[in-house]
Amino acid sequence: MQLILVAIATIVKHYVPMSARDVSRKPSTDGVLTLERYLPYRLSILSNRISGRIAETYGDKFALSVTEWRIMAVLGEYPGISADAVSLKTQIEKSILSRAISKLLQRHLLDREFDPNDKRRSQLRLTETGQSVYDEIVPVAYRMEKELLACFSAQEQEVFSDLVDRLYQHAGEQ
């Protein structure tokens, strides 16, 4: 599944929304997977598009990748959690997460404290510099979210949020 998502992510720039194509809005019944109607594909493309927009904003100024920012965002909300907990919260594969954490540690944006009773366990926190970067990016992220959701009315935003929550919970039950 991860390989498929990586392959899909590489063609993000070539995605054409359904409204611009002459493709039926109904899923194919002939055994051909119509990617533009396949929900996992659509969500992946949307996520990459949104993350890319946000990354353009903070990438140049702070030289952070999307993965590095996601780690910092989690640690901004949950300081002192382990890399395993970050992996669970972000759904980032552990080897990719480990490399990104190493870069953030080298740049002194994160600090790692090892458990004195078990050296395999550690807690991650934003450093003062990391917190400063986080504090600068968060308002930008909120502004971009607001701009993105502006295509919905207030009622539609509430319904959309509820539907996303329901889909998230349902997907976790599968």
Per-residue pLDDT of the chain (174 residues; tens, 9 = 90+): 343 433 344 444 444 555 555 445 565 667 889 999 999 999 999 988 988 887 888 888 899 999 999 999 999 999 999 999 999 999 999 999 999 999 999 999 999 998 888 877 889 999 999 999 999 999 988 998 999 999 999 999 999 999 999 999 999 876
CATH code: domain 2-13+35-173 is 1.10.10.10
Domain ranges of the chain: 2-13+35-173
CA distances from 6 to 17, 126, 160 (A): 20, 29, 26
- The upper half-sphere exposure of residue 88, i.e. CA atoms within 13 Å in the direction of its Cβ, equals 7
User: How are beta strands 118-126 and 110-115 bridged, if at all?
Assistant: antiparallel
Best CA proximity match to 58, nearest among 147, 135, 148, 150: 135
